Amino acid sequence: MGARVSLSRSPVEFSLLGPVSATRQGVRVELGAPKQRAVLAALLLRPGQVVSVDELIDQVWGESPPDAARKAVQVYVSRLRRALPEAPPRGQLPGYVIDVRPDQVDLHRFRAFVAASRGRAGADADELLRRAGDEWAAATPLAGLGDIPLVRVQGPPLLEERLSVTRRLIEAKLDMGRHAEVIGELLTVTGEHPHREDLHGLLMLALHRAGRTREAIDTYEAVRRRTRRELGAEPGSALRELCGRILRTPAPGTGSGRTEAGRTESGRTEADRTEGGRTARLSAGAAGEEVERIDDFVLVGRRLRAVAAEAREILAMHPSPRRVPVEDLDDYLLMLGERDTHWRTIVDRGSLADPAGVHYCARLHRAGDRHRVTDSPAQQLVIIDRAVAFVPTVPRAHRVGAFVIRQPGIVATLVDLYEQTWDRAVDLDRLVDIDEVTAGAGNGRYTHSE
């Protein structure tokens, strides 16, 4: 049986979830100037309750009201009575009250649907939340009143109520496996609220579950760049942890359990349930070591291949594009690009002096790898899914030992250093004409512009 909320429509209805307005049998009622509408809005926020004259003055004018503010309130109320004979504001000490049913006001209908949705799941919750969202006539509540205390104080909490419903509705759809359906909505809402990491997290989750993991990680990177630029900080722990889980978890075919932070009702992540073997491979070293030293470069190559074989994300940094701890890595990396591994590489500017090295970068770049060039000396480094790091012990091309690091704190520090270097570096295609390099590589020619 579908969820029901009892509503009885009145000849006069009021809107606060958008421009403050009233309609009589579908025809808009003229409510006068913005401050007059603000007085009505203050009364409609608390129907059936007395709002004192002092409160009305504070909400309309703030701390410096004009001397005639009290008289102005009386005039506004008198005009509203003439405009709304079916629901006239009436005087009751120490102020005024408007006697309307909550279901005559879109805000209170919205809240009734939200209250009815609590404790429900699936289609019932989806229907009630959708109807709650439909009560919003515009993205901004209390619109058209100007920059007054009422809007500054009441507007943000109302927006938060709306975002809470939007989030619950999206989570409900994700729980029903409707991942692709919510991506467009999430792109819109994250554009409207770019600093809401919880909404960006839902977008990342929806993209990942829809098989678009690379875009999910791109979303995280965009949030990270903005947070560092505007706040000088990293994203919150919840978003960082979600990024890590996405990298360790294959995109599921359907949603199940709770969507928030990717956890099921049992508290286990999907990675815990479906990728136990892979998680063990990422975290297991010799005798369970968190920092393991391997002096055999062949073994380093094998270990790196084994871990990278299932990678969702690879972060690489090379002082020269050919100094990599695996022989014949070219075709292997191209294969990873073809299966949509999210790959980024930083090389130092000296690499651009070597035509063969530039051609190597260009091949990977065209296959989907993203390259940037740094003026600073680059430490050779490969980080797999932000869980395992390979750091060479001796910087000799193709014959290096390596530290294999799984200790979370050290890996997190290396990721942070990598991201800082990436932010300072320049995109390869701003320095090198990729098409020219690929076309002329056979003759050793390439284009390099400062």
- ∠ CA(340), CA(342), CA(344), 5° rounding? 135
The domains of the chain, with CATH numbers, are: 1-171 (1.10.10.10), 177-274 (1.25.40.10), 287-443 (3.30.870.10)
Q: Encode the chain (450 residues) as per-residue pLDDT tens digits.
A: 455 565 556 689 999 999 999 999 889 999 999 999 999 999 999 999 999 999 999 999 998 999 999 999 999 999 999 999 999 999 999 999 999 999 999 999 999 999 999 888 777 888 999 999 999 988 899 999 999 999 999 999 999 999 999 998 898 888 888 899 999 999 999 998 999 999 999 999 999 999 888 899 889 988 988 988 888 888 888 898 898 888 877 666 544 434 444 443 333 344 333 343 444 444 444 445 688 888 776 777 778 777 777 778 888 887 654 444 444 444 555 555 555 677 888 888 776 676 666 666 766 666 666 778 888 777 788 898 888 998 887 655 555 588 899 888 888 889 888 888 888 888 877 776 656 655 544 444 444 443
Give ∠ CA 155-138-260 in degrees, rounded to 5. Answer: 75
0.85 exceeded by pTM: no
- Longest Cα pair distance anywhere in the chain, in angstroms? 92
Unique residue bearing structure tokens 């808009």:
28
Q: Are 275 and 269 in contact (CB under 8 A)?
A: no
Nearest to 412 by CA among 382, 389, 446, 438: 389
Is the omega angle on the peptide bond into residue 408 within 30 degrees of 0, that is, cis? Answer: no
For 264, half-sphere exposure in the C-beta direction (CA atoms, 13 angstrom radius) is 12
Identify which of 259, 383, 264 has the alpha carbon closest to the alpha carbon of residue 318.
383
Cβ partners under 8 Å of residue 151, min gap 6: 142, 145
Compute the CA torsion angle 56, 62, 68, 69 (nearest 10 deg). Answer: -10
For residue 65, which of 39, 84, 90, 41 has the smallest C-alpha distance?
39
